[in-house]
Structure 1
Amino acid sequence: MRSHPFFTEPVEQRRIIIILAAITITLAANIIGLLQGITYVFPHLLYLPILLAGYWYPRHGTAIALLIAALYAGAALLLTPPELITTISILARAAVFIAIGLVVSFLTIRLRQSEEQLHDLIEFLPDATFAIDREGRVIAWNRAIEKLTGVPKMKIIGKGESAYAVPFYGEKRPILIDYALRRDPAIEALYEGVSRNGDAFEAEVIAPMLHDGRGAHLRCVATPLYDSGREIAGAVESIRDITGEVMARSALRNTNRQLKTISGIIRHGLSKRLEELYRHLTIGSMQISDPASLSVLRKIEGSADGIRRQIAISRDFREIGAIPPVWIPVQEAVHEAAARLDTKGMVVHAWTERLSIFSDPHLRTAISHLIENARAAGATALLVTYQIREDGCAIILEDNGTGIADDEKERLFAENIERSGHGLFLAREILGITGIGIHEEGESGRGARFVLTVPPEGYRIM
């Protein structure tokens, strides 16, 4: 078994001297006691060198215990009367010495093996990881943290007083592992936010000294270590360099912001041009009496309406996914979606009073596009119901319009569908954020039947 990382040669020398001194002193005390006729007190002193040898040198503990037992037995047999009971007592005591040495050595070997397994586990973790004991001394410092900080293990093992913070911050200061060791509010105040998951504490920090002083964004997770009595015996912290991830997130946010700005400018410009187009169409309708020309103007106005709906859809596309999903009552969403549209007399009725689903907050937008699709197909009524199935919950929207032709169903939710303005592609994208599927299973000429499939974990019956 290889030596523990913080063992050094002077320590080994001191241990050998202590064991030899303990053997010499305790044997001398026993010899003096035997010369004085004392045979029952001083032999207990021999447990000390046996225990020390078994713990410090478990591979040789049994041999050292055997040597001590032999020296004691030899001296005792020479210095005591040759009586049977006395001889048996001496040999029995020597056997106990050997047994104690054997047990201590065995238990220590098992303990060292467990320690080695723990250290090997930490050593080969992909994340930078280190551990400290109850006094704050470093007891583990793996290869990943050596690479991250540039500090070799032998220069940090055994050091305390927050020396492990220096490679990150350039000074000795408490960090997250200290907070896991002792819940000090002053340490928590050093971080913008510390989240807790069971016994683990997590935070994101900036370490200015890493990467040759350029700094690094780190995600840190620290957890206390407990002894057999559930008392805190130390703590361990894992560190991941997320600088690239943070930079990518920042770049993505900047890109999204720029795209939103550009799309807003484009939508505003198109809206202004549509206003001019509608104004000219209105003036043209008032000045032109020729039926053929009026028919052309109505077609132009229909195309303008399609452009207007596409602009509205593009605005909705910009916003989906920007807000985390929430639990939404379906009946409330249907009523709000219908209220925001001119249904032109189409009745929308929902039998979903107790149903809530986990969805993007723009669920109402998705439903409004389904309602608009039914209205465009000439429906006079739309019914919304739900069914609980083995694979989840099915929300069904049925109308009495013209329905969807079979050859059109395959491309119904495609982005480039020619039925522009109905927003079914957008509806599918909104629902898909939380794993809700959508398909159409109605019969052409008998109305459309859209089915929203909600996964088992995505619905509640209140």
Structure 2
Amino acid sequence: MEDRTVPDGFPTWEHLLNPGVSWIVWTFEDRLGFCLLQGESSLTSSKGCMEIEKVFPPDIAFLLHEIVRDATEMVPGEAKRVALAIPGTDTGWPCMIFRLDTDHFTLSWLNGGNGDQEKDFCDLREHLRNEKAIRKANEKLNYFNAIVRHDIMNLMMGINGYMDIIDEIVDDEEIHLLIRKSRDLGERVRRVAELTRTYQDLGNRPPAYVEVAPVMEKIFERHEFSGKIITDVQVNGLFVYVDRMFDAAIYEIVKNALQYGGEGVKIKVFALKVPEGMALIIMDSGPGVHPDFKERIFSRTYEDRRGYGLYLALEILDITGAAIRETGTHGEGARFELIFPPDAYRFGP
């Protein structure tokens, strides 16, 4: 299990998903290993055991982790029919997973040689057809979202124009005060409408492994942060499996640090093993978060927040099963922990 290369003669990952091929899978704290069951007609010479991540592309490896993770709810001796289906495509493979004991499973890739197995392929085609329909519906919703946003912005321009006219022809301080409050509300409506532009693609593309260090550096180099924060990034080689809008989640955390910590705030980024998997730590030298607000700051209805940033960061991470929490000490700085399960991170090129 220590060798980082696939041995000569080991089947390609596509071959390993052929109908009739069976594996024994065992789980470790942060990875999956598998061996081929002996007796497979075309694979009898492949006796080695490998890690899932060393043989399969990252997206396929992640889906295999998902299948096994879901199967941990099964009792030993239980079996069920599942499908490894690639989001955004019409590609998939049906299989049976059987739980042997706490850490061991078998996966048998199904063939279409008899009537019973043909049903599995029908189920898989139905799954892929449903996935395509959902994608298409999301595309239409995004298009509708853009239309509604455009109309809202046009209406707000008209409302602001009428308020300007009223402001000029009325000479009453109380009315001027009401106009200013109305403009403030109008500005909030505009910001919410703009927010829908930023996040309308959330979850539209399949997740992927993303290297953390370049994402952090790219965020820190943005004009609004450049020269205003002091950074210390210690996550070289760390990849996390996230939605493609992961950088937007990081942006919101960094913006939060600058908002509350002010110019010159120090931000340190590093990784730490935790019982749930791996924690990406982003801590700053600002005032920190009061204990009463540690959970409320991630709520959509939190009244004292400045925007929806941390709530949306939580939603972006949740797409791939990651989580976020604040564990800093009030008065000493904020500490955000982004928690990734064992099958959603790795180190390496």
Q: What TM-score do the two structures reach when normalised by structure 2? A: 0.55
Query: Are the counterparts in 2 of residues 373 and 422 from structure 1 also a CA contact under 8 Å?
Result: no
Partner of residue 456 from structure 1, selected from 342, 346, 349: 342
Identity of paired residues, percent?
27
One-letter amino acid of the structure 1 residue matched with residue 259 of structure 2:
A
Task: Note closer, same or farther for the CA distance 1:274–1:431 as it changes in structure 2 (3 Å cut).
Answer: same
Whichever residue aligns with residue 267 of structure 1, its letter is: R
- Number of residue pairs aligned between Structure 1 and Structure 2: 239
Quote how far apart the aligned CAs of 1:353 are: 3.0
Do the aligned partners of residues 262 and 407 (structure 1) sit closer, same or farther apart at CA in structure 2, a change above 3 Å counting? Answer: same
Cross-structure match for 1:424: 310
- Shift in alpha-carbon separation, 1:287–1:447, aligned structure 2, 3 A: farther
1:393 aligns with 2:272: no
Task: Flag the structure with larger Rg.
Answer: 1
Aligned ranges 1:67-86 → 2 under 5 Å: none
Q: Give yes or no for contact 2:252–2:310 (8 Å, CA) kept in 1.
A: yes
Q: Indicate conservation of the 8 Å contact 2:229/2:258, yes or no.
A: no
Asked if 2 retains the 8 angstrom alpha-carbon contact of 1:360 and 1:434, the reply is yes
The alignment partner of 2:325 has SS state of strand
Give the deviation of 1:440 after TM superposition: 0.7
CA distance in structure 1 between the partners assigned to 2:187 and 2:288 by the alignment: 22
Contact 2:271/2:279 (8 A) holds in 1: yes
Unmatched segments (≥5 aa) in structure 2: 1-88, 96-108
Residues 388 and 343 from structure 1, CA distance in 2 versus in 1: closer, same or farther, beyond 3 angstroms? Answer: closer
Structure-2 separation of matches of 1:442 and 1:387: 15
Match of 1:409 in 2: 294
Residue of structure 1 in register with 2:72 after alignment: none
The match for 2:216 is 334
1:222 aligns with 2:111: yes
2:323 to 420, 431, 437: 437
Give the SS at the match of 2:250: helix
- Alignment of 1:383 with 2:262, yes or no, is no
Deviation at 1:281, TM superposition (A): 8.6
Q: Deviations over 1:45-84 (max 9, x none)?
A: xxxxxxxxxxxxxxxxxxxxxxxxxxxxxxxxxxxxxxxx
Q: Assess if the C-alpha contact under 8 Å between 1:325 and 1:361 holds in 2.
A: yes
Query: Structure 2: how far apart are the matches of 1:386 and 1:251?
Result: 40
Q: Is the 8 A contact 2:267 2:284 kept in 1?
A: yes
The residue matched to 2:111 in structure 1 has which SS?
Answer: strand
Query: Secondary structure, in 3 states, of the residue corresponding to 1:222?
Result: coil
CA deviation vs aligned residue, 1:114-145 (integer Å, no higher than 9, x gap): xxxxxxxxxxxxxxxxxxxxxxxxxxxxxxxx
**CA shift at 1:362, angstroms?**
0.6
**Gap change, CA 1:245 and 1:456, over 3 Å in 2:** closer
Cα shift readout 1:93-125 (whole Å, capped 9, x = no counterpart): xxxxxxxxxxxxxxxxxxxxxxxxxxxxxxxxx
Report which of the two has the higher share of helix.
1
Per-residue deviation, 1:407: 2.0
Q: Any idea what the Cα deviations from partners look like across 1:183-228, whole Å, max 9, x if unmatched? A: xxxxxxxxx9887899xxxxxxxxxxxxxxxxxxxxx9536xxxxx
In structure 2, distance between residues paired with 1:451 and 1:427: 12
Is contact 1:395-1:452 (8 Å) kept?
yes
**1:410-453, Cα deviation, whole Å (9 max, x unpaired):** 22211222225142111111111222210011233333221111
What displacement does 1:252 show? 3.2
Q: Which residue of 1 aligns with 2:118?
A: 239
TM-fit CA distance, 1:404: 2.1
Change (3 A) 1:275 1:376: farther
What is the rounded CA distance, in whole Å, between the counterparts of 2:166 and 2:330 in structure 1?
A: 38
| TM-aligned CA distance change 1:249 to 1:395, over 3 Å | closer
Q: In 1, Cα distance between the equivalents of 2:268 and 2:308?
A: 18
In structure 2, distance between residues paired with 1:330 and 1:385: 10
Match of 1:377, SS?
helix
Matched residue SS, 2:196:
helix
Q: Could you say which structure has the greater relative contact order, defined with CA pairs below 8 angstroms and 6 or more residues apart?
A: 2
Matches of 1:426 and 1:435 in 2, distance apart?
14
Amino acid paired to 1:271? M
**CA 427–195 in structure 1, closer or farther in 2 if over 3 Å, else same:** closer
Paired residue type of 1:351: Q
| 8 Å CA contact retained: 1:409, 1:440 | yes
d(CA) in 2 for partners of 1:400 and 1:294?
A: 41
Cα displacement (A) at 1:363: 0.5
- What secondary structure is seen at the aligned counterpart in 1 of 2:118? strand
2:246 to 337, 341, 363: 363
Residue 260 of structure 1 aligns with an amino acid whose one-letter code is N
Question: Which runs of 5 or more residues in structure 1 are unaligned?
Answer: 1-191, 199-219, 224-234
User: Please, what TM-score do these two structures have when normalized by structure 1?
Assistant: 0.43
For the residue of structure 1 that corresponds to 2:209, the secondary structure is strand
Aligned equivalents of 1:284, 1:338: Cα separation in 2: 44
Q: Distance in 2 between matches of 1:194 and 1:244?
A: 12
Distance 1:259 1:196, change over 3 A: closer
Name which of 294, 298, 310 aligns with 2:192: 310
Choose which of 320, 325, 328 in structure 1 pairs with 2:202: 320
Distance, in Å, in 1 between the alignment partners of 2:140 and 2:298 is 28
Contact kept, 8 Å, 2:284 with 2:334, in 1: the verdict is yes
Structure 2: how far apart are the matches of 1:449 and 1:310?
27
